[in-house]
């Protein structure tokens, strides 16, 4: 993870003689904070880096991406230029779609594409945005957005208790809604090993999530159903790296 010291590729965990890096993408409507509980339980030999989207945290002076393609292009370029070595790419919820899109864009770049792709709490994108994925909407008032963010873990108590932080959180959420609403699946597929997680009690996830994702990869594939809802349970989320097969097998193809 040498050289990864900027506000875009945020290093959260370093380990001596790391053989690979787990790269998480910022959450839509949030940033890197959701990954911090992972630092206490990272597998041996694995660094943890979170790619921060523009307009938040250390990149708050940068303008938000105007649409999906602009954000995906920026994420792709950041991965192409980062000094990561072998890495596994992770995305949760709408950032799962972003991780999938970016991995597809890197398919022909043998030197920079991820060794494996891990997606969490997201439907397969081949049918486009469903009604559940279009919620919340840009028409929702602030209280409605705050309620949704609180329900899905994007509004820590210390943020809700601070008016300035709450205003910033709403600004990020509205910017990310605008990006989300421009997403179009144009037939992208991947060939790298793919692992998908979904919550047994997540109302946002369709019953056919496993089979649909399986149709979007030509590589080794597995689907794991975990307890809880969109963020599983706090205990499962905190220990999620221990369930990521590629960082234990070094993406050897055992994720099948």
Residue 1 near residue 47, CB atoms below 8 Å: yes
CA distance 17 to 147: 43
With tokens 């709408």, the residue in question is 94
pLDDT in tens, the chain (256 residues): 444 457 999 999 998 889 999 999 999 988 898 999 999 999 989 999 999 999 999 999 999 999 999 999 999 999 999 988 999 999 999 999 999 999 999 999 998 999 999 999 999 999 888 777 777 888 888 888 888 788 766 777 778 888 888 898 899 999 999 999 999 998 999 999 999 999 999 988 999 999 999 999 999 999 999 999 999 999 999 999 999 998 876 433 333 3
Distance CA 144, CA 139 (A): 10
How far apart, in whole angstroms, are the C-alpha atoms of residue 169 and residue 185? Answer: 27
Per-residue pLDDT tens over the stretch 59-69: 999 999 999 99
SS3 104: helix
Q: In what order do the strands lie in the sheet with 9-13?
A: 9-13, 46-51, 20-25, 87-92, 116-120, 194-199, 221-226
Q: For position 49, what pLDDT does the model report?
A: 97
Tokens of 175: 């910017």
pLDDT at site 158: 76
Three-class SS state of 30: coil
Distance from C-alpha of 28 to C-alpha of 175, rounded to nearest angstrom: 9
- pLDDT digit string (tens) for 202-253? 988 999 999 999 999 999 999 999 999 999 999 999 999 999 998 876 433 3
> Residue 250's pLDDT is what?
45
Residue 156: the pLDDT is: 75
CA distance 26 to 72: 12
């Amino acid at each position: 993870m040498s050289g990864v010291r900027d506000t875009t590729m945020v290093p959260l965990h370093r380990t001596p003689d790391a053989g690979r890096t787990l790269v998480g993408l910022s959450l839509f409507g949030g940033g890197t904070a959701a990954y911090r509980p992972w630092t206490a339980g990272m597998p041996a030999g694995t660094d943890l880096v979170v790619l921060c989207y523009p307009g938040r945290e250390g990149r708050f002076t940068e303008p938000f991406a105007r649409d999906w393609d602009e954000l995906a292009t920026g994420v792709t370029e950041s991965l192409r230029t980062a000094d990561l070595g072998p890495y596994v790419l992770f995305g949760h919820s709408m950032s799962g779609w972003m991780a999938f899109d970016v991995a597809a864009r890197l398919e022909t770049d043998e030197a920079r594409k991820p060794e494996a792709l891990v997606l969490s709490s997201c439907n397969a994108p081949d049918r486009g945005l469903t009604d559940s994925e279009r919620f919340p909407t840009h028409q929702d008032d602030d209280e409605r957005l705050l309620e949704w963010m609180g329900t899905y873990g994007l509004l820590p108590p210390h943020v809700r208790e601070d008016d300035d932080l709450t205003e910033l959180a709403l600004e990020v959420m509205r910017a990310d809604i605008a990006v989300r609403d421009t997403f179009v699946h144009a037939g992208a597929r991947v060939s790298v090993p793919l692992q998908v997680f979904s919550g047994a009690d997540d109302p946002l996830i369709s019953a056919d999530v496993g089979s649909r994702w399986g149709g979007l990869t030509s590589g080794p594939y597995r689907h794991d159903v975990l307890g809880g809802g969109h963020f599983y349970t706090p205990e499962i989320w905190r220990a999620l790296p221990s369930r990521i097969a590629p960082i234990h097998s070094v993406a050897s193809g055992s994720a099948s």
